[in-house]
Structure 1
Amino acid sequence: GDIGRKEMPILRDPVILDDLDYLIIETTYANKIHSKPDEVEEELAKIINETYTRKGKIIIPAFAVGRTQMLVYMLHKLFDQNRIPVMPIYVDSPLAVAATNVFQAHPECFDHETYELFLNNFYDPFGFYRLKYIRSVDESKKLNEIKEPHIIISASGMAEGGRILHHLMNNVGNPNNMILFVGYAAENTLARKIMDGNSPVKIFGNEFEVKAKIKTMDYFSAHADKNDLLEYVGFSSPKRLKKIFLVHGEESQAIPFQGELINRGYKNIFYPKTLDEFELD
């Protein structure tokens, strides 16, 4: 269902499957358009600089595989270009540390930009001197004692488990801090509640007032936006494509996308509900 995104940092563009008979396709951001890369870099740099000036901390809930590596890549790039201040950056997730090791072991999968910016100059895109990978629980706990401005990237992205819960508990109440969400969060998850402006929120059974500044940037998501999804469907003719199934998306995203496809001549477009059954020819 997930088709991936083109022109993203690190990995090469996904391969498109064309001339299909049936298509099951995600609709996570089927009614949204992602920001352009240069706009995202500028916005991220602004967020970091403003929080640094306030002497605050930046807490980023992020999925361990893919999202964390992309964030580290962009932070490394901004740091090398002197667009963000010198401040500690911590990746606090055992799975993210292990996943990053896999990325580092397979540079043959990287795209042209990663080679141009880093590998051709013998730089590791996932390692620079202000970045530290946290492995042990004791190291993780000590991060809460740091008073100077810093960045913590920690799993899980939807803040439903993992070390991020401790970092949110210790930092969500400080108005100088920034909680930066960099991907989709499902309804009723802690991340979604904070995104939607709920306060107080429950963490480990206790209520905490949300006083920190909140920002969401969906650019880092691995999910394609409306334009990418339409382009992908367009590689299969309406005359050939017998059925399209819209999945992995809320109704507010899937239903408008369904209308877009109908306007382009596609038929038999379904937004299935649990236990729906379909027959394929």
Structure 2
Amino acid sequence: MEITFHGAAQTVTGSQHLVQVNGAKLLLDCGLFQGSRQETYYRNQHFMYDPHSVQTLVLSHAHTDHAGNIPNLVKKGFSGPILTTPASRNLANFMILDSARIQENDAEFVNKRKLKNGEPPIEPLYGTEDAEAALRLFEDRDYAKPFDVAPGVTAQFYEAGHILGSAITVLDIKEGLRKIRLAFSGDLGRKNMPILRDPTPIADVDYLIMESTYGNRLHKSPDEAHTQLRRVMREAVERGGKVIIPSFAVGRAQELIYSLQQLIRNRDIPSIPIYVDSPLAVNITKVFGKHKELYDTGALRALKEDDDGNLFTAPGLTYVGSADESKALNDRKDPMVIISASGMCETGRILHHLRNNIENPRNTILIVSWQAPNTLGRRLVEKEPRVKIFGETFNLKAQVEVINGFSAHADQTGLLEWALALKGRLKKVFLVHGEPEPANALAEKLREGGIRDVHYPGLHESVAL
């Protein structure tokens, strides 16, 4: 049995782990690398194995860095089942098609410049037809119910608590006379976060592939994040400015809507208009409304108290549809909140809102998500005095606030608590989905906790079990 780490290896994005066992190939996730366009285009374009040879893809959740390269895999020959939870499949229906449109638009943008320079055009990584072909391969699998994925291999999903439908994957493998239990954390969520249930503890695991995004960081508690959000909102209203929030369309947007409505309902902040300006976020929020069975007890309680039985509708909350409606927000001068994608400020309507609001010191840019290196979002976090948007340079005069407490990833304490519960039988941990500093810090803490064999694999590294 062999595992090859083809993505999220010594970096965060591009999750893609190939398991070879009993003559079969099983892929855990197939995500996009994100960051510099030139570097990531090549990485995303080329697979280091033949997609035809993969029997099954098991998907932990619908985020782009875990699912976003599936259409390219299908385009290049993969035709097996894509197994995931029902909520993840419903999210992927929107997210993968949205990603395809972004790929097509990016290629069109680059080719305009290439045409001027007399250079040959590039093809999009994949298009809408490839995305539609990929979505036809998706199949639902429920939590905590075993299902076959390869000869001698069964899998089960458990709640990961990261986003709606996210799953920890446990593989029970029979290889000759050997029995092996391999777990893949996917992205592990946090306890006591709004809306979603906590990650499920698992047991009796031999090998663990585990994320390490925040392996060196302790998050503020959800209550502290709530308090910080209240402060930011009050100060923004006092300045008479707008609050521009770049947000992932899945999970973070819904959590922000929920938290802001709580603050308004409890009169902790003035009743300020909230605009969700992301077609994808609007569709994703509808999916959240369809999967109430995945809510935690607090969200279910709030649901009972809500007049219309929907956590994501309220007076003063507007879901923006057309591009004209989006542009009209830039003509408004009154205080408001604009939640828009993409979360790392690389594409989407958020770029227009940043361009129109970044040079006004009354405004606030509120960052509530991890920002990959070489993205506009990371440059805003680092408060670079001048940034480029649509190729034009702007002075950063708006206030920049960062709230890390909204993170949907477990921090060092959460990761350790979850992993150390497995240490009795656990033989080895492979740390993925983390930059070197957090991953190495987490590895040291795991060793101190009694898990001696911790490895941080390199990109395309293979390990025999």
Shorter chain as denominator, the TM-score bin is over 0.9
| Residue 133 (structure 1) aligned with residue 304 (structure 2) | no
CA displacement at 1:47 relative to structure 2: 0.5
CA displacement at 1:245 relative to structure 2: 1.0
Separation in structure 2 between the aligned mates of residue 10 and residue 271 of structure 1, nearest angstrom: 32
**Structure 2 counterpart of 1:160, one-letter code:** E
Which residue number in structure 1 is paired with residue 377 of structure 2? 191
| Residue 206 (structure 1) aligned with residue 392 (structure 2) | yes
Contact preservation (8 Å) 1:171, 1:212:
yes
Separation in structure 1 between the aligned mates of residue 349 and residue 329 of structure 2, nearest angstrom: 11
CA displacement at 1:67 relative to structure 2: 0.5
Map 1:227-246 onto structure 2 (within 5 A). Answer: 227-237=413-423, 239-246=424-431
Determine which of 345, 363, 374 is the counterpart of 1:159.
345
Determine which of 213, 233, 255 is the counterpart of 2:440.
255
Q: Secondary structure at the match of 1:246?
A: strand
Determine which of 12, 21, 24 is the counterpart of 2:209.
24
Separation in structure 2 between the aligned mates of residue 243 and residue 61 of structure 1, nearest angstrom: 38
Q: Secondary structure at the match of 1:215?
A: strand
Aligned length: 279
The structure richer in strand per residue is 2
Map 1:1-281 onto structure 2 (within 5 A). Answer: 1-122=186-307, 123-237=309-423, 239-280=424-465
TM-score, normalization: structure 1? 0.96
Contact preservation (8 Å) 1:183, 1:219:
no
Render the CA deviation track for 1:9-64: whole Å, top value 9, x for unaligned.
Answer: 11112222222111111111111111122222111111001010001110000000
CA displacement at 1:138 relative to structure 2: 0.9
CA displacement at 1:186 relative to structure 2: 0.7
Render the CA deviation track for 1:132-169: whole Å, top value 9, x for unaligned.
Answer: 00111111111101110100000111111111111111
Q: Secondary structure at the match of 2:462?
A: coil
Contact preservation (8 Å) 2:420, 2:451:
no
CA displacement at 1:115 relative to structure 2: 2.3
Q: Secondary structure at the match of 1:277?
A: strand
Q: Secondary structure at the match of 1:244?
A: strand
CA displacement at 1:267 relative to structure 2: 2.0
**Structure 1 counterpart of 2:333, one-letter code:** K
Separation in structure 2 between the aligned mates of residue 188 and residue 277 of structure 1, nearest angstrom: 28
Residues 172, 105 of structure 1: alpha-carbon distance in 2 compared, 3 angstrom cutoff: same
CA displacement at 1:4 relative to structure 2: 1.6
Q: Secondary structure at the match of 1:58?
A: strand
Contact preservation (8 Å) 1:21, 1:241:
yes
Structure with bigger gyration radius: 2
Contact preservation (8 Å) 1:200, 1:210:
yes
**Structure 2 counterpart of 1:68, one-letter code:** A
* Long gaps (5+) in structure 1: none
Q: Kindly, what percent of the aligned residue pairs are identical?
A: 48
TM-score, normalization: structure 2? 0.59
Separation in structure 1 between the aligned mates of residue 199 and residue 304 of structure 2, nearest angstrom: 21
Task: Give 4+ residue runs of structure 1 displaced > 6 Å after superposition.
Answer: none
Contact preservation (8 Å) 1:19, 1:235:
no
Contact preservation (8 Å) 1:93, 1:155:
yes
Separation in structure 2 between the aligned mates of residue 233 and residue 174 of structure 1, nearest angstrom: 46
Separation in structure 1 between the aligned mates of residue 447 and residue 273 of structure 2, nearest angstrom: 50
Q: Which moved more, 1:43-52 or 1:11-20?
A: 11-20
Q: Which moved more, 1:136-145 or 1:108-117?
A: 108-117
Which residue number in structure 1 is paired with residue 109 of structure 2? none
Separation in structure 2 between the aligned mates of residue 271 and residue 202 of structure 1, nearest angstrom: 35
Contact preservation (8 Å) 1:119, 1:125:
no
**Structure 1 counterpart of 2:453, one-letter code:** N
CA displacement at 1:233 relative to structure 2: 0.5
**Structure 2 counterpart of 1:260, one-letter code:** K
Separation in structure 2 between the aligned mates of residue 12 and residue 189 of structure 1, nearest angstrom: 31
* Long gaps (5+) in structure 2: 1-185
Separation in structure 2 between the aligned mates of residue 144 and residue 54 of structure 1, nearest angstrom: 17
**Structure 1 counterpart of 2:342, one-letter code:** S
Cα RMSD of the aligned pairs, angstroms, is 1.2
**Structure 1 counterpart of 2:282, one-letter code:** V
Contact preservation (8 Å) 1:158, 1:192:
yes
Q: Secondary structure at the match of 2:225?
A: helix
**Structure 2 counterpart of 1:259, one-letter code:** E
Q: Which moved more, 1:2-11 or 1:173-182?
A: 2-11
Q: Secondary structure at the match of 2:230?
A: helix
Separation in structure 2 between the aligned mates of residue 15 and residue 69 of structure 1, nearest angstrom: 22
Separation in structure 1 between the aligned mates of residue 297 and residue 368 of structure 2, nearest angstrom: 24
Q: Secondary structure at the match of 1:142?
A: helix
Render the CA deviation track for 1:87-144: whole Å, top value 9, x for unaligned.
Answer: 1100000110000001112222211111223323435221111110011111111110
Contact preservation (8 Å) 1:58, 1:178:
yes
Separation in structure 2 between the aligned mates of residue 195 and residue 3 of structure 1, nearest angstrom: 24
